[in-house]
Amino acid sequence: MKVAESIAEQLGQRIRDLRERQGLSQQELAQRAGIATSTLSEIETGRYTPNLKIVLSLAESLHVPLDTLLRVQQPPLQALLRAVETPTNVGVLQQWAERCYRYAQVEKLAGVEVTPAPAYPSPRSLEEAERISIQERERLRLGTQPVADIVQIVENNGLRVVGTELAENDVDGILLHNGTLGAFALINRSVPPARQCFTLLHEYAHYLMHREQPVHVDYHTLSSEKWQEAVANRFAAAFLMPEADILEVLKPFRLPHRKGAIPLYVWILLRRRYRVSQSALAWRLYSLGWISDQEHGWVLRNGRTLYEAEKTIFGNVEEPKPIPALTDRAVALIAHAYAREETTAAFTAETLQKPLALILDYLQIVRLPVPALMEHLRHKENASGGSAVDDRSVALD
């Protein structure tokens, strides 16, 4: 009886805590959940243990995963996020923390060991941050060419990437580092893709150079004047746009290395090559002495005009891929853990953020060996009136 009472009290305290953090009254939450205010009051005080249907409704009304309410011990990542919570983003941050926790879980269940990238000492100058970006590119054997897949690079080096939809004026990104679970980068998918990618490299810089701090929160990444943020910006800009490569691109145009020497068409060429925002390119060229304060400010005020010029002159605007909510690596590991029978279909569907009914059939065939898979697909095609699967369409490596 005492155990049941303690569980009811813990659940009630958690619901009340989340409600208050979101600025909701008992009446407002009760209306959302379709229950009486008196019932919610009894739940929050531990005097009434709700059934699963009510708990599901409360989780949905609070915009948090069900596990946030039911798990006995909350993942340590959630406590780290309290400093950046607002009444409007609590639910989103809770969902993100749950995704990160599950990402770490499926890595462990799938038997994957994460090898972190080496830590660099915190730079004492911006030039030192530039040198670290060069060293990191050399370590990764990237040369000086533009990076094709930033997400894959950072995930292969111990920084898991999870995107989520916060308000556009909320944080750009967050780096969380926990001694048990490892490192995670949250990227706000509501901002333009070029800004998302720059923010990811900014968080990677923190991961490499400031790992001793458990949390880094970045608002309007390029605008911060704090020293660690300036250092991370310099690393990110240099990693995305190496000076050696910029000089190589400029070489055919024989431009003098002075402020005001880059014409519009070359500016657009550079932006298309690196697929960065106008402000990130301006920040980089300004730091290298290619544009003046006046030009830098003009770009920040007239970025839309430059995009229109790019579209008119080159026919389109080159943009990077947006950061995914779950990366390909994460999705594959989630499927792998299910194929090894380490997780349930319900857990897998919820982690993938897909309706169970929609993906259940595909989850069932994940565990099939190739001959059985081919036979299953043949039956499926025949049942739907389609043609049988051609053996040659299944490639084995």
62-103 pLDDT, tens digit each: 888 888 888 767 777 777 888 788 888 888 888 888 888 889
CATH superfamily of 1-73: lambda repressor-like DNA-binding domains (1.10.260.40)
Helix (H, G, I), strand (E, B) or coil at 13: helix
pTM confidence score: 0.84
pLDDT at position 64 is: 82
β-bridge mates for residue 175, sequence order? 185, 216
229-259 pLDDT, tens digit each: 999 999 999 999 999 999 999 999 999 888 8
pLDDT at position 388 is: 43
183-239 pLDDT, tens digit each: 999 999 999 999 999 999 999 999 999 998 999 999 888 777 789 999 999 999 999
299-324 pLDDT, tens digit each: 989 888 999 999 999 999 999 999 99
Nearest Cα neighbor of 278 from 250, 308, 299, 309 is 299
How far CA 171 is from CA of 64, 92, 129, 187, 315, in Å, comes to 19, 12, 23, 8, 33
User: Which amino acid type is present at position 146?
Assistant: P
User: Average of pLDDT values for 6-30?
Assistant: 87
Q: Where are the domains of the chain?
A: 1-73, 243-314, 367-397
Helix (H, G, I), strand (E, B) or coil at 14: helix
Tokens 């020497």 belong to residue? 261
Quick one: pLDDT band at residue 397, thresholds 50, 70, 90?
very low
Chain mean pLDDT for the chain: 87
**pLDDT exceeds 90 at position 364:** no
Task: Calculate what percentage of the chain has a pLDDT beyond 70.
Answer: 90
